[in-house]
Structure 1
């Protein structure tokens, strides 16, 4: 296990697997996926602040989590592909908006609305206006319309779980039937969306590896700095 220090001094733990081009994997229980990707990549799997072996420093701000990832990117050599899973996809998006060291971005099941059953303070801070104090139903996803790195978005539609029992008639609660991933991909300059059946880790690893092996433009690195709190 490795350890880096974020801008505010918080210790951020990460696990490193394999050898090859660097991937930072942002998400929950992703060890199996990290091991599968490690056959062709060096995979860095950080513990988000407040989880696992990472520390936590009050007050919480989304910007601090982005700084945590920037510290991990520096430890990985300054240039990485990044994959985000679930709420980790939202954090990866925010990192790609603010940090220049990310060359490609893959998001699996991005969650663009708060989930009362699985609360996450990252989602809570992004979906609750700081001044009005009134909760809202989702993000202003246009905040990420400037993310220009090549981005692959995978939405998962489990077979047999649509309203009529098949993936063909699956819809979510967007009024026009579009998924979060579709709406997000349409906003990004280089976004592409794929709807897939339930992905086992091995199938997801194959799709991510294929995407990350394509050529990337070199990033422009800047020194680590403390980001403003919004």
Structure 2
């Protein structure tokens, strides 16, 4: 199946994916399940990677975002979460699944990087983006959120939550979202190599790479 055909087929089904504004981590959690059960991804999610985008300041700009009021679609998030798929046994491109993006759904990784991340755009250091890459099979077993981060000091919702129950990890953990989102400059690997790939396949929080290392990392995924 060609990339253009894939995009055309999936565009008509985008409404079948769960999407709650401002709950991108849960949207991606549900998306991973959907891709696996629908046959679009490997049944165990082995070809899927969950990517948390953030930094120490919790200020990361992304372009081509549906929530933006600007023509270029730029939005300043405290963090964002996407899914990247590397299909096995074929020559299809790496695909980015981002329900909050106005780009094709899914988008080839190169297109998403150039249009949504725009690494060539000069940013002040406080807006530099870092990427925590977690293997989806690990993520869906261990991620948990009781949505406490979406309540104000009075206990009121800052954004209406999804209609389903909060996500609990297999071991009973009720909230660890902060562990995925908290990304420090010192967390970034100095060099992307085979050991980095091994860490993603075995470590609950995966690894953190910089903007220039994102595509390089996925070039190692066979």
Using the size of structure 2 for normalisation, the TM-score is 0.29
Instruction: Kindly indicate which of the two structures has a greater share of residues assigned to strand.
Output: 1
Instruction: Kindly indicate which of the two structures has a greater share of residues assigned to helix.
Output: 2
Using the size of structure 1 for normalisation, the TM-score is 0.28
